Amino acid sequence: MSKLRSNRSFVLLFLGRFVTNAGDSLYFIGAMWLVYSLTGSSFYSGLAGFLVHLPSVFRFLIGPLVDRWKLRPILVRTQFLQCICVLIVPLAAATGHLSVWLVLLVMPLLTLINQFVYPAQTAILPRIVEGEQLVRANSLFSTVYQGTEVVLNAASGIVLAVIGATTLFVVDSATFAITTVLFLGVSVPSTDSESDEDDTNDADDANNANDDGTYVVELREGIEYLRGSVLISMLLGAMVVNVGGGAMTAVLPAFADSMGGPETYGLLMATIAGGSLAGTGVVSLIEDRPYGRLSMVIFPVSALGLAAASVVPGLPATLAFLFVAFVPMGVFNVLFSSLLQSSVDPAFLGRVSSVVSSISMGMLPLGTLLGGVAGDVYGPVSMLYLLSGLLVLLALYFLSHPRIRSLPSVSETDEATLGLRSSVNRASISNVNTD
């Protein structure tokens, strides 16, 4: 911990993640409730979730750019663009032009810009911290991510009830402005030990990368690197579960409305984040356990928690069981991120993280859209049952898959263990400047 605290770039990246996550929590709660309040329909909530998650499916197209472009400017410029875009909604409300279609336009635009942030951050972290600190660093990032959601999700529900949703968008714009300044101070070492170049060369670098055709080559290399690995098998299972995850996201505003109102929605979202936060807190106690066996245990626990939250009456019981359901999710997310960063060749990390994200998120938009439709027909509780059942199926799938079942701990996992194609031609990588 002392090494991480004395690492200036890590601290600034960490603080930037904290501030921008706070703003994102406020924005997402405000946007989803605003859509539901303008329409009163789970269908439009599902449509909003569909549009928000859709850009994530195409994140794999961003990976080669992240591996070639300078990483700090990616973080800085995306935050600045989001700072400007998020102001569209409160400006429209102030001038009397606010409509559900405007909100539905702004939400995917912000998500699209944000698709550059996660691969860039994933690529930066192993370059600014030492290898043995990766699990701890990822745990801290997950902790701050979930911790801000716990507080801000609950707070946003109260703000929604008192002063309305558009105020949250103004606050969110301010958080993006602060994060822009913080990310300006992050220093990212060059992989080829060359001196830093001016940020003004970024556009020329990008044009050269596209002109010589290396973008397509590197995109294919990133996909080829993953082909046949155990990661693909794991992600195919995650895609199925994300149908249920998207469906639950779509119906949560209606589920909250049936038990209270916007403050209840904030409490539900805060509880989900709180469970994930608690999961990150116990990772250090179990990180040396075999990854495959842990995966087969944590999903049934989540399934039971969700089922109980759906059945047991009363808001306190719902919140308690929902918390239990998401503790294992926090554990799994930290371990999976660490698994990628410790095993994948750094030259491929941006592409691999973006491809992995695209595959795992592939069914989430569809699940959100279908969940909105089904929620109006069958009720919101049915979508929680759906997610619970899919989690049980995922555990059985992992149990039946020998390669997943036999995965060792994160520290013992490498390219060969995961079946990554380390023989992929890296010739085009040698000239890449990812400063």
Q: What's the CA gap between 36 and 32, in Å, rounded?
A: 6
Residue 331 falls inside a structural domain: yes
Higher pLDDT, 388 or 414: 388
Nearest C-alpha neighbor of 248 from the set 386, 140, 366, 99: 386
- The pLDDT of residue 430 is above 60: no
Residue 312 falls inside a structural domain: yes
Residue 424 falls inside a structural domain: no
Per-residue pLDDT averaged across 64-91, rounded? 83
- The pLDDT of residue 408 is above 60: yes
Structural domain of residue 372, as residue ranges?
A: 2-187+211-419
- The pLDDT of residue 244 is above 70: yes
Nearest-10 crossing angle of helices 134-163, 262-286: 170
Nearest C-alpha neighbor of 337 from the set 113, 44, 139: 139
Q: Residue 69 carries which DSSP code?
A: S
SS3 240: helix
Overall pTM surpassing 0.85 (yes/no)? no
Tokens describing residue 339: 């698994």
Query: Which of 98-107, 249-258, 350-359 has the least mean pLDDT?
Result: 350-359
**Confidence at residue 308, expressed as pLDDT on a 0 to 100 scale:** 93
Tokens describing residue 426: 């890296």
Per-residue pLDDT averaged across 229-237, rounded? 83
Alpha helices in 314-401 (DSSP H): 315-343, 349-360, 364-378, 381-400
Range with top average pLDDT, 65-79, 193-207, 270-284, 373-387: 373-387
Look over the chain and give the mean of its residue pLDDT values, rounded to a whole number.
78
Nearest C-alpha neighbor of 360 from the set 277, 228, 227, 241: 241
Exposed / middle / buried, residue 187 (Cβ in 10 Å: 0-12, 13-18, 19+)? exposed
Residue 431 falls inside a structural domain: no
The pLDDT tens digits for 307-352 are 999 888 889 999 999 999 988 888 887 788 788 777 888 777 777 7
Alpha helices in 164-229 (DSSP H): 166-184, 202-211, 214-226
How many domains does one find in the chain? 1
On whether the CB atoms of residues 308 and 321 are closer than 8 A, the answer is yes
Q: Residue 312 carries which DSSP code?
A: S
Per-residue pLDDT averaged across 28-49, rounded? 84
Rg (CA), the chain: 21
Per-residue pLDDT averaged across 290-318, rounded? 88
Residue whose pair of structure tokens reads 């300006």 in the numeric block: 184
In percent, the amount of the chain with pLDDT more than 70 equals 81
Q: What's the CA gap between 84 and 224, in Å, rounded?
A: 38
Q: What's the CA gap between 147 and 53, in Å, rounded?
A: 22
Q: Which residues does 225 contact at the CB level (< 8 Å), separation at least 6?
A: 345, 348, 351, 352, 420, 421, 424
Query: Which of 150-159, 240-249, 340-349, 397-406 has the least mean pLDDT?
Result: 150-159
On whether the CB atoms of residues 150 and 281 are closer than 8 A, the answer is no
Range with top average pLDDT, 66-80, 130-144, 180-194: 66-80
Tokens describing residue 27: 């924005």
SS3 188: coil
**Confidence at residue 317, expressed as pLDDT on a 0 to 100 scale:** 93
Residue 200 falls inside a structural domain: no
Per-residue pLDDT averaged across 371-389, rounded? 88
The pLDDT tens digits for 165-200 are 677 788 788 888 998 988 888 777 665 433 444 444
CATH at 323: 1.20.1250.20
Residue whose pair of structure tokens reads 């070639």 in the numeric block: 68
CA within 13 Å, CB half, 221: 23
Residue 230 falls inside a structural domain: yes
Residue 319 falls inside a structural domain: yes
Query: Which of 234-243, 251-260, 399-408 has the least mean pLDDT?
Result: 234-243
Q: What's the CA gap between 331 and 130, in Å, rounded?
A: 21
On whether the CB atoms of residues 148 and 136 are closer than 8 A, the answer is no
Exposed / middle / buried, residue 216 (Cβ in 10 Å: 0-12, 13-18, 19+)? exposed
In this prediction, residue 305 has a pLDDT band, given cuts at 50, 70 and 90, of very high
